[in-house]
Structures are given as C-alpha cells and as structure tokens.
Amino acid sequence: MSQETPLTRDIPDQGEPLDLAGYEQAGGYGALRKAVDEMGPEAVIQAVKDSKLRGRGGAGFPTGMKWGFMPRGDDAPERKYLIANADEMEPGTFKDRLLMEGNPHQFVESLVISAYAMGTQTAYIFLRDAYRLCRRRLQRAIDEARAAGYVGENVLGSGFDVEIHIHASAGRYICGEETALINALEGRRATPRDKPPFPQQAGLWGWPTIVNNVETLCNVPHIVARGPEWFRNLSHTENGGTKLYGVSGRVNRPGCWELPMGATLRELVDEHAGGMREGYRFRGCLPGGGSTPFLTGEHLDLGLDFDAVEEAGSRLGTGSVVVLDDRTSLMGFLRNLELFYARESCGWCTPCRDGLPWVARLLGALEAGEGRAQDIDVLEMHTRFLGPGRTFCAHAPGAMGPLQSALKHFPDDFRAGVRESELAEVS
C-alpha cells in the first residue's frame, strides 16, 4: 500500500515552493471553499475533534478539544485571536521550517480555515527571527492569498473577515511556551503566565486566544478536505494522521520525513536515515527534541506515537529524534543540553534560574573527569527539585527529562566522570 503524505506531498525537493496558481492547481484552497460553502464553523471543529489530531508542538494535547474551549456563539467576546506558534527552537527539531518554507500556502490556508472555525478575525504567526526565508515566503503567500480573496474581508463571499500578521520575534526559546508567547506578542518579556486562566479564556490582551503549532495547523485543510476517518486511517495507531519525524546526529542521511503516526525508531534510524555512520553505534536517542527523556536500544521497535512513547517513559515531543552514538561523551551531550536550558531560562522562578546553571556546571566537571563524589547525588536531587510541579512552567521539568533518564539508563557514565581519588565514596 502506498503511503499518503498530505503535508509534504506538494513540497518540492528544492527550489521555490508552489505559488498561488500552482497551489490552487494542486487542489489548494479547496478545503477553505468546502469549509465556508458546505460545512460551517461547527462542522469544521467537529471534524478536527473526530480526526483525533493531537498537537504537534510537543505536548500532544487533542486539538479539537482545545478548540472546543474557545467561546463561540452570540455570547462570545467580541474579539478572539488565533496564534500559530512558529517559534521552532526545540533542540534537534526542524520540521515546521520545512512546512513553512516548502508550502507556505498550505499553512496560510490552515490559518484561514482555523480562524473561520473559531470565529477569530486576526491570526498572528509568531515566527522566530532566525527563520528569515520562512518570513519572506509566508509574506508573499499571504499577499497572494489576500489578492485572491482568501484572506481579508468577506473571505470567498462568506461574510467572514480575517487578517494574518507575521510577528517576527527576537530570539528566546521560552517564547515557544504558549503563555510566554502571548506576553512576547504583547511586547513584554517572555515570562510564562499563571494558569488558569487558560489562553482560551483570557489570552492575548485578555481576549480568548488559541495557540497551535505549525504542523498541527497544516493538518487542518486535509482533515476538512478528506474527512476525519481518512485522517485517522493515515496512522498506524489510535493517534490520528501522519507525523513529520526527523533524525539527526551521526547517521548516514539525517532528515525529516512524513510517515504514518506510529513509525518505529528502527524504521526511522535504519531505513530512512540510512543507519549509523561507519564506526559509530546507536546507544540511545531523545525521541522528540532536547527536552524528551532518552530511549535506548530496547525501544527500537517501539511505534512512536504519543501514548506508546509515554508508556516507555519518554515523550513523543516534536518527533525529532536526536541520536546518541557510542563515541560521543554522554556527559558532554547532557552538558550541552543543560547549558542550553540554563541560557534560555527566563529567570522568573528560582529553581529554574539557579538550578539549571548548577546542573550544567556539574555535568561539565563530570565530562572533564573532575567530578566530585557527591555530584551524582546532587544531580539526582535536581531532577526532583526541578521536576514537574516545582517550577512555574514546563521549561525546567523538560530540561530534567534527558538527565533523569540518563541517570537511569547509563549510570556508569556518571561514575566514570568522578575523580579517581573519590570514586570509592560514590554511593
């Protein structure tokens, strides 16, 4: 059976993406037409619910349920906002860039349909500053779509108005956290907000706001065009759809591929990424970006979806696999990750601001073979003190994922970093 790849089918191997005419020729904006002519907002939301689409930004929250929290009808507040989270910065993740650069109109269509479903008249694309080619291509697509009547006033004669603005940020990983993103869009420091209220109740400038990841949104036109059942059947598992999986590290052909949800790690690493580079062996991997706990060789045949990876003690995250090989220092690998999280902490709460640099320094000492006997215990303590429920947002708990799983799966690597004179004291 040939596998369908709706998200990437129209992305050229290289060169310019489809322009408006090319996109329309490939069936583009047909889903929008169907949504406004035949379905109406409620049916679009129901289709997304029935599709079992789950958020592709990392948390995997059911998209239809999230949409359902947005107030609708006559009693709804006069303004509502849709924000596309295009602040892709999770270490090892390079999928949303592919979607935005490779088929900008698909993304624009997804925004218009989603805005229509939720009755939001303004959609923001919160784009990281370094994605400059994305910005140029998206702006061109928005302008073309506006000229053709897909964006702006009275979209396709439906009476529905929508404007799309690109907000190019100025760098900071924490902007990907949805409440921090809202603060950033309001022009403030990107510190997270307390929840509740959730953004769907009181988000951007206090109005109901929905924040969705780029890949999540790009699924919407296909769900609308082909139906939720078709979408569910794309997947090998109960989580609907395809997934953009990536592999990076010392493999032969690093890359990003759209596969049925539930593809195995072995399939990704051996088949699509062409196996490990000569002289390197697979030791483990972060299955979904820098803040997901390690999987190891015993998980190679695990079908990667949200539920299965969680059962195995990690998270599907962004589906972007970072491979740890046998010749890379695990202490260095972890030190690099934790230094990233230390640098990117917004500094709002103490465990994160003070704990992460400490963790990074201890890992640096272990990497250099200069660790002290008590360092391993101190690291273990941090995985608890910076864990879920101890900090204001998920930044520090995410940072602890790789560390606590490495302590579990690879304890000897930590011991090997302790000074020889103190090894006897390691508990």
Partner 1 sequence: MLSDEERQEIEAELPHYEDAGALSVDALKIVQRHRGWVDDDGLADCAEILDLSVHELEGVATFYNLIFRKPVGRHVMLLCDSISCWVCGYDALCGRLQERLGVPLGGTTGDDRFTLLPMNCLGNCDHAPTLMIDDDLYDDVTPEQVDDLLKEYA
Query: Hey, which residues between 171 and 190 contact partner 1 (CB under 8 A)?
Result: 171-173, 184-190
Which positions from 128 to 147 touch partner 1 by CB under 8 A, shown as an x/- string? xxxxxx--------------
Q: Per the structure block, which two tokens stand in for 271?
A: 């088949």
Q: Which residue has the tokens 């107030």?
A: 71
Least separation in angstroms between CB 228 and partner 1:
30
Which positions from 91 to 130 touch partner 1 by CB under 8 A, shown as an x/- string? xxxx-xx------------------------------xxx
Q: Does 337 sit near partner 1 (CB under 8 A)?
A: yes
CB atoms near residue 230 (< 10 Å): 16
The Cα–Cα gap between 262 and 194 comes to 34
H or E element: which one contains 226? helix 220-226
Return the residue of 10, 215, 258, 344 that touches partner 1, per CB under 8 A.
344
Chain-centroid distance, C-alpha 370? 36
Closest CB to partner 1 among 28 and 102?
102
Which positions from 303 to 322 touch partner 1 by CB under 8 A, shown as an x/- string? -----------------x-x
The Cα–Cα gap between 43 and 35 comes to 8
Stretch that binds partner 1, among 60-68, 170-178, 355-363, 377-385 (CB under 8 A): 170-178
What SS3 state is found at 239?
A: coil
Q: Which residues, in sequence order, are CB contacts of 121 under 8 Å at separation 6+?
A: 79, 80, 115, 161, 162, 163
Q: Per the structure block, which two tokens stand in for 86?
A: 């295009």
Closest CB to partner 1 among 48 and 251?
251
Which positions from 16 to 45 touch partner 1 by CB under 8 A, shown as an x/- string? ------------------------------
Q: Specify whether the CB–CB gap between 101 and 69 falls below 8 A.
A: no
Query: Hey, which residues between 196 and 255 contact partner 1 (CB under 8 A)?
Result: 204-205, 246-250, 254-255
Stretch that binds partner 1, among 57-65, 152-160, 166-174, 383-391 (CB under 8 A): 166-174
CB atoms near residue 167 (< 10 Å): 16
CB atoms near residue 367 (< 10 Å): 19
Q: Which residues, in sequence order, are CB contacts of 189 under 8 Å at separation 6+?
A: 183, 346
Least separation in angstroms between CB 309 and partner 1:
18
What SS3 state is found at 160?
A: coil
Tell me which residues touch partner 1 (CB under 8 A).
Answer: 88-94, 96-97, 128-133, 165, 167-173, 184-190, 204-205, 246-250, 254-256, 286, 290, 320, 322-325, 328, 332-333, 336-337, 340, 343-344, 346
